Each structure stands twice: as structure tokens, then as C-alpha cells.
A and B are shown apart, each in its own frame.
Chain A
Amino acid sequence: MAARSDREREFGEFVALRYADLVRTAVLLTGDRGHAEDLVQRALLAVFRSWDRLDRLANAEAYTRTTMVRLESRWWRRRWRAEVPTERLPDRPIGDHAAGVDTAEVVRQALASLPWAQRAVLVMRYFEERSEAEIAEVLGCSPGTVKSRASRGLAALRAVVDIEGVSGRERRG
């Protein structure tokens, strides 16, 4: 019983500490907060089942993030054709950095328009700052594939936003 309560206490601390950050990542992976919270909670339930095998907090976060990507990836592989995003990017004005709000919205739409694999690579590579080798391991592909997906994803973002022109203030949102 003590082991169970220890496990639940540690898990609770982990969730309280990392939930918000995990949801932010999931928002990028799924496109909206409702689905993002669904995804995070499903991943956390999987983490809890494996809690005894993890090196607690540090390992748990990496495991949760990987589980999120794999769960979402599985959903995309099984999705209905109706929900295939268009590969055409939205026809939006380019690089109006005077309005940071609009830039973020354009980026959100561009991200949502990307094929799932490219979106996942961009999120893991640039938001989570994972290595290409690590991403390749998560997605079950070669580092070369990760590189090419990142390149195509970046090209798609560049098509709608002047990335290099983003100012330091806007970077902080």
C-alpha cells in the first residue's frame, strides 16, 4: 500500500509540475487545446502504468513526450481520409511582423496544414530541441528522413512567414 501511495504521490507531483508544458507541446501536435489535453492525458495514463520502470521525473517527461508523439502518429495513420489536411498552405500575407498576433496565427495555420510527419518533426526539432537521431528513433525512420522532413516543413513555414525577420520581442510572444 505504501508503494502504491508513493507512486501516486510522485506521479501527482510530476503531473502538477509538467502538465502545462506538455499541453503546449500537444497543442502544436494536434492543433487545438481540447485535443491537446486529450492527448496529454492519454499519454500520462500510459506513463502511470509504467511508472515503476521509469527513473522518475526526468525519464518520465521524455517518456510522456515520446508517447504523445506515438499516440498522435497512430491516430494519423488510422485517420479517415476526410481529415487529411490539405497540403496547400493558406493564402496569407507574408511576414507582417508588426502584428505578432497575426504572425502566430499564420504559423498555426501553416503548421496545421503540414503533413503529420513534417509537423511532428518541426515540433520535436525546434520546440522540444531534440536531436535528429532521437526524432528518428521516435518516428521509426532514418535521420536523413528527419532532416528532409524538417527541411520541407521549414520551407512551408518560410512560405508564409519571414522567419529570420522575427524580432526578439516577438520570440517571447
Chain B
Amino acid sequence: MSDEAESVRALLTTVAERGAGERLVPPVAELIGRARRARRRRRAFSFAAVLAVAAAIALPQAIPDRAPAEQPWPGYPATGPGTAAALAAGHWTRLPEAPIPGRTGAAVVWTGSEMLVWGGRVGDSARSDGAAYRPADRRWTVLPEAPLTPRTQMAYAWTGTVLFVWSESDGAVYDPVARSWRLVPTSPLSWRTGPTAVWTGRDVLVIGGWTDDGRPLADGAAYDPATARWRPLPALPVASDHPVTRLVPLAASDQVYVWATWAHRVNTSENSFETTFGMDLFRLDTRTDTWSTPVASGEAPTGVDQPVWTGHEIVVPAAMPYRPGSGPVGVGLRGGRLDPAGGLWRPITHGPVDDLRGQSVWTGAALVSFGNGAGAAWDPTTDLWKGSVGADHRELRDGLDGHAPADLGRADRGRQLRKLTVLTVGAPPVRRLVFRILRDPERVSPPRRPSSGGRGLSRSPVRSSGPST
């Protein structure tokens, strides 16, 4: 081992020894106990699975006309494109070659007639190029050069007439009819990366993000594209002992819901600390710019990643319960749905890809989730899932292997090293899913081996503790 390698090892050893502390007690009995319990659970589960299979075979014969699992939820199309049944029976179509490379972290919107893709990241480089795809004539066009520096993970929204993009300290809007970009005025927001944006029907709200040194931000501002003016939003009413770690906004009619995860660490002695954490939900009335903490009963989700507003209710697809830092991989995850008028959270039936941390898309009549090469569609009317969406597409399965669609730009575990990027998603009233599959031009050879709500809605804060490092 070289001198440098030895020095690095010495440094790492010091860090490891200090971090681990001196009094490490091997929890032998506890581990064996947990292992025994886990084995008993697996056996019980296997037995239950056998019973369930037997019941599934026997029951349809015994009860020819079964009722839906729950009372049907009104207001959604029962037939037609975009329904779970139609998606399960659908098939995939390969798109023509794109004029830009596949990417992650791009701004991607559906305008009603075409999909716009701009910015994002290809490999280690941020991009400032973009393209538009028009499904009607299956044609791509390159977007005009934007007046912005290359960037990824920006705030973006489609306002009905322009694509709004903003991050760091500046932004621009793109008008697809005029095929032109225009810089937006300087915002009242500080420099930040990773903000999120929602379109309220009148303003684009830009909130959250992180400072240059990684500190989360909880403020926001509203941009009115009609007047090209910004206004700062009032501060999120977070408690002092609920320091925000991330904001997830959702526009629902004239209200904007914001989930705020928080983690609060307190040193309980020189050598130990205690962290409490949880998730609060806030609501901004966009007519008055006032925040409130909505109160709802029922089982609120413990993790929120890609909430959707269906026009009738808020649907939160299954997500990992929030926990700061590393944590166990969740299983048996379930989403939730909230009728804001009724103020009642109801759990969604666990879906076949819910544990895979995939990507969810609302089609206008169903929620489609993809993960790890599998897809399933959730019918909001019956609260039932239909599997096999996309299962007919071998390349999709290869490309998605082990990757959530958000990571598809880096999907390189397929046997032939395909890069697959989700380029557009349906938005009401358009109900279409389009995927783009292409070979990565930079790496085609040689092939590699596969290798809670206002506090009224939040769950109780969870505590974890451990020795200080």
C-alpha cells in the first residue's frame, strides 16, 4: 500500500473510531430474537399467501357477481382513454429519434399539443438545450436557444401559454407559439437550487430549494406572467422546533397545499442527541395569500413525494415515510386520498409497485405508477389496481430495471445499455403516456454487464436518538 493510501486509511480509521465511540455492545440476543420473529412472520405470510391463493381461486366460483371492494368514488370517467382498464389494455409505441440527448432533471411539460423538454443533466453536465415533440405528426423540433445558463432540477410550470423555468437566481419563460424566450424580472428570492413551482391559474408559486451550502429554504414568491411581476409570499408558519427539510407543494383549485418535512436535533448531553421529525401540512389561500393549517381526520400519509390534484380530491401516491438520514426500506406502503371539503384522509389500496419508489402520473381518470420495470394503474372509482401496464414492452423492462423513472437517464443496467427517458406525461384533459427509448450515443460499446398537515394532519413526531458523533 502506498504512503498516500496508508495515510487515507489512517484518517478514515480515526474518523470511524471516533464516530463509533468506545462502548459498542453487540446486540446478540436482540438480533437473534428479531431474526426468529422475522422467520415466524415469513412462515405466517407464506401460509396466508397459500390461503389467499386458494380463496382467490374458490371465491369467484362461489360468488359470480362480486361487488366492488368499496363504495365507488364519483366524478371520474368510468370508460374511455386514460382509465385504468384502458391503460392495462394499451400498448407501447417507440418515438422517433430525438434531436437532443436523454437527460434527467429537465423541465418537462405538456402544452396541450406538444411536449416541451428543456435543461436537465446529461452525465455530469447541466444542459441549456431543449426540444418539443408533437405527437400529432410525430415530429421533434429543437427549441430556440434560451437566455439562461445550463441548469438542472429547476422550478418549472406550464401556465397555459408559456413554460416558466427558474432556479439559482434567474429564470425565463418560453412561448411555444412565438417560439421565443423572455427573461423574467429579478425575483425577491435568494439564490437557491432545487426549488419547486406550481401554477395556481393566476401565478406561478416558486417555493423551497436549498442554499449553496445545502441548507433547506422555506420561503417562496409568486410570479404573475400577465404582469411580469413578482411578489414575495408570506413566510410559511412553521414552528421554531420544526425546522423544514423539504417542501412539496400541490395546487388544488385556488388553494396550494404544502407538505413540509422537518427534523429537529437536540443534544441531550455531550455525547448524545435526540432527533424529532415529522411532516406538517400547510395551505395557502391564493386569493388572500394567507397560510393556514388544515385539519383533517383519518389516516394521513406519512410520506409525500408526488401528490396530484384530480379536480375532485388530493391523491398522494405511496411514498416512503419521512425519516431523516438513512433508514430501513419500507414495504407495504400505501398512498392516501383526501377530499378537502370533507376533511377525511382515506388510505389507498396497496399497489403492486408501491414499494418501488417509482414515478406516478395522473391521466385524468387513473393514477399510473411505474417502478423497477413494472407498471400498474389505480382506478380512483373502485380503489383497485390493474397491473401489467407497460409489461408488453421488453425494452421498457430492461431500461427500467432497478431504476425509478426519475433516474432513467442513468439507466444503464439493461443488457444492451439502453437509455430510457420519460419524456412526457398526460395531464387533463390529455390522457397520453409517451416514452422515449434510445441508445446512449456516448456509451454504446462495449456493452457492460447488467449489473402532517398543519399539525392537525401530521402524524405524531417520531423520535430517534443516538450518541453524538
Chain A residues close to B by CB (< 8 Å): 8, 11-12, 15-16, 19-20, 23-25, 27-28, 30-39, 41-42, 44-45, 48-49, 71-72, 74-75, 77-78, 80-83, 85-86, 88, 90, 100, 103-104, 107-108, 111, 122-123, 126-127, 129, 140-142, 154, 157, 161, 163-164, 166, 170-173
Say whether A108 contacts B28, CB under 8 Å.
Answer: no
**With A75-B326, A82-B261, A163-B7 known to touch, is A170 a contact of B14 (CB < 8 Å)?**
yes
**With A20-B26, A25-B16, A164-B3 known to touch, is A103 a contact of B329 (CB < 8 Å)?**
no
A38 CA / B329 CA spacing, docked (Å)? 12
Within 8 Å by CB of B18, from A35, A49, A173, lies A173
A45 CA / B328 CA spacing, docked (Å)? 12
Say whether A86 contacts B20, CB under 8 Å.
Answer: no
Offer 18 A-B interface pairs, CB within 8 angstroms, sorted by A.
A12-B28, A12-B32, A24-B16, A24-B17, A31-B325, A32-B325, A33-B19, A34-B464, A39-B326, A44-B31, A71-B329, A82-B245, A88-B214, A100-B14, A111-B15, A140-B451, A157-B8, A173-B14
User: Which of B35, B153, B245 is packed against the most chain A CB atoms within 10 Å?
Assistant: B35
Say whether A164 contacts B4, CB under 8 Å.
Answer: yes
Chain B residues close to A by CB (< 8 Å): 1, 3-21, 24, 26-29, 31-32, 34-35, 38-39, 153, 194, 210, 212-214, 216, 245-246, 261, 305, 320, 322, 324-329, 357, 403-404, 407, 413, 448, 451, 464-467, 469
Q: How far is the CB of A61 from chain B (nearest CB, A)?
A: 14
A142 CA / B38 CA spacing, docked (Å)? 35
Q: In the complex, which residues of chain B have a beta carbon less than 8 angstroms from the beta carbon of A141?
A: 451
A38 CA / B326 CA spacing, docked (Å)? 9
Q: How far is the CB of A89 from chain B (nearest CB, A)?
A: 10
A142 CA / B413 CA spacing, docked (Å)? 12
**Interface SS, B side:** mixed
Within 8 Å by CB of A104, from B7, B11, B32, B245, lies B11
A168 CA / B100 CA spacing, docked (Å)? 53
Say whether B212 contacts A88, CB under 8 Å.
Answer: yes
Say whether A127 contacts B305, CB under 8 Å.
Answer: no
Q: In the complex, which residues of chain B have a beta carbon less than 8 angstroms from the beta carbon of A123?
A: 12
Closest residue of A by beta carbon distance from B22:
A20
**Interface SS, A side:** helix
A39 CA / B466 CA spacing, docked (Å)? 14
Q: How far is the CB of B96 from chain A (nearest CB, A)?
A: 31
A123 CA / B12 CA spacing, docked (Å)? 8
Q: In the complex, which residues of chain A have a beta carbon less than 8 angstroms from the beta carbon of B464?
A: 34
Say whether A28 contacts B12, CB under 8 Å.
Answer: yes
Q: In the complex, which residues of chain A have a beta carbon less than 8 angstroms from the beta carbon of B407?
A: 77
A154 CA / B19 CA spacing, docked (Å)? 20
Say whether A41 contacts B15, CB under 8 Å.
Answer: no
A134 CA / B385 CA spacing, docked (Å)? 42
A19 CA / B21 CA spacing, docked (Å)? 13
A37 CA / B469 CA spacing, docked (Å)? 13
User: Which of B1, B15, B38, B407 is packed against the most chain A CB atoms within 10 Å?
Assistant: B15
Within 8 Å by CB of A122, from B12, B38, B246, B404, lies B12
Q: In the complex, which residues of chain A have a beta carbon less than 8 angstroms from the beta carbon of B465?
A: 34
**With A127-B16, A140-B451, A166-B7 known to touch, is A48 a contact of B35 (CB < 8 Å)?**
yes
Within 8 Å by CB of A33, from B324, B328, B404, B466, lies B466
Within 8 Å by CB of B9, from A31, A83, A127, lies A127
Say whether B216 contacts A140, CB under 8 Å.
Answer: no
Within 8 Å by CB of A129, from B1, B21, B24, lies B1
Say whether A35 contacts B326, CB under 8 Å.
Answer: yes
Closest residue of A by beta carbon distance from B11:
A107
